Chains A and B, each alone.
Chain A
């Protein structure tokens, strides 16, 4: 079967760095996605990792270790607008282009 786990909630302060972890079990593997979802809004794409290592994109970076079934999203120089839910997701049964299996999301609260 497939399973994606991530912490339910995290808190941090403006300007800080936060790391949101995700562990997954899939029958196959075809990449891992991170999405951001502000309350009441649609999820928006942040990153995609298919190879081991760190992918940096401005203040956000995403890391993948396929051997450990582990990923994290790193947010630097936190801003209030980063308060949102962060969703880790993987293709169902590792098949490219199919629907995604999502974790329940990590709600990040950034305070001043």
Chain B
């Protein structure tokens, strides 16, 4: 497809379970970002991948959160031992890379609900 693809679109799970969220960026985009958006809050940066460089993990809220990007393309965000405060929309974006004026293109997000 032409855009950023995320799956699943919705995920409901019980507190304490692990979840995996997937992001397929636009072909050729070397930069990939994960954000989350909670009700009434702005988008919050989680993690950033650029090419083969070490990812910038400085936005991850706890060690229960991790992400990887395989082959410079698809990325998965994993949340272990989910808590109710993890409920949010998780958005993935990609861009052409470390160039100032390149916009980030967002997927439709995964709406995560922790019961």
Contacts and interface: CB of A to CB of B under 8 A. Distances in A.
Interface of A: 4, 30-31, 33, 41-45, 48, 50, 87, 89, 91-92, 96-105
Contacts of A96: 98-100
Given A31-B100, A43-B106, A103 B42 contact: yes
Contact of B108 (A42, A102, A103, A104): A42
A98 B108 contact: no
B45 A31 contact: no
B11 interface: no
Judged by DSSP, the binding face of B is: loop
B105 to A, nearest CB: 7
A92 B45 contact: yes
Interface in B23-71: 31, 33, 35, 40-45, 48, 50, 56, 59
A96 B48 CA distance: 13
B83 interface: no
Given A104-B42, A105-B42, A97 B50 contact: yes
Contacts of B48: 98-99
B103 interface: yes
B98 A98 contact: yes
B101 A45 contact: no
Nearest to B31: A97
Contacts of B56: 98-99
Contact of A100 (B4, B50, B104): B104
A87 B93 CA distance: 15
Contact of A99 (B4, B35, B41, B105): B35
A44 to B, nearest CB: 7
A99 B45 contact: yes
Contacts of A33: 103
Contacts of B42: 4, 87, 102-105
A50 B100 contact: yes
Nearest to A6: B42
